[in-house]
Amino acid sequence: LSQLTRAFLHGDIFGHARAFGNTLLGTPLHFAHSQLLFHSLVNSSAQQTARFILGSLTALSLLRYARGLSRAFGTGVGSWYIVLQATQFHIPFYASRTLPNTFALLLTTSAFTALLPIPGASAARQRSQVRRGIYLLVAAGVIFRAEIALLLGTQVIFLLSTHRASLRTVILAGLPAAALAIAASALVDSAFWLRPVWPEFESFVFNAVNGASAEWGVSPWHTSRAVHTRYRAGGARAGPPAARVRGAV
């Protein structure tokens, strides 16, 4: 705690904040990696502690979704969902990584759990669950990944077409959630970055509006097949020169 206090008093916390390159509101466990908090409270690896907590939360959200699937469509569906997630590569690999995508996964999985039908539930409870799902999807898109707007849009179309929600319900849930999430993200991140900023909006403008996403690097369309497969099979010498990959469009 004394380290944390000194960091605030001397402004060191802002140096740590800028180093992360992503929204601080969206990465509280990432902030713990700076050793300002976890090393002051527990005498263990900050990274291991943070990743253990995040991985546990991710697993819990997936299990809750599987339970919701079993309740809505039968135990077989929920069981196969667990098998699917446990036997693929991406979920186990990324479940504990302190990335915006992982935090967004927590919220979107919880949102889809709320959006699942509940057999025998009252209409009021169903509407409440739909509103909760919309809240979470909006928050995930505003704070973590703007692309979730596409996921939200398809879900809204489905809810409206199946009469599980009215347009009024969607608007009354979505607008307050967006306003609150924008305000929270802008206030917290502006304090850390020392300038007015809404990080996910800036990211969207940079990548989508300005079309500058290629500045992060590009690879040929066949990279996964032609480069990475041979790299795994034959070592680093099997891949093409780095300049050739960087120059491909």
In the chain, how many domains are there?
2
**What is the span of the domain harbouring residue 239?**
217-249
pTM listed for this prediction: 0.70
Is the domain of 170 the same as that of 115?
Answer: yes
Is the domain of 118 the same as that of 84?
Answer: yes
Helix ranges (H only) for the chain are 2-10, 12-20, 28-32, 38-41, 46-73, 75-87, 90-94, 100-115, 123-143, 148-161, 167-193, 199-204, 223, 229-234, 242-247
**C-alpha distances out from residue 221 to 91, 186, 233, 245, Å:** 24, 36, 20, 10
Is the domain of 209 the same as that of 223?
Answer: no
User: 211's torsion region: left (phi>0), alpha (psi -120 to 50) or beta?
Assistant: left
Is the domain of 116 the same as that of 234?
Answer: no
Is the domain of 126 the same as that of 141?
Answer: yes
Q: What is the pLDDT along the chain (249 residues), one digit of tens a residue?
A: 344 344 433 444 444 443 344 444 444 444 444 444 445 445 557 788 888 899 999 999 999 999 999 999 999 999 999 999 888 888 888 899 989 999 999 999 999 999 999 888 888 898 999 999 999 999 999 999 999 999 999 999 999 999 999 999 999 999 999 999 999 999 999 998 899 999 999 988 888 888 887 887 887 777 766 665 555 555 544 444 443 333 443
Is the domain of 166 the same as that of 226?
Answer: no
| Tens digits of residue pLDDT in 154-165 | 999 999 999 999
Is the domain of 6 the same as that of 109?
Answer: yes
Is the domain of 78 the same as that of 165?
Answer: yes
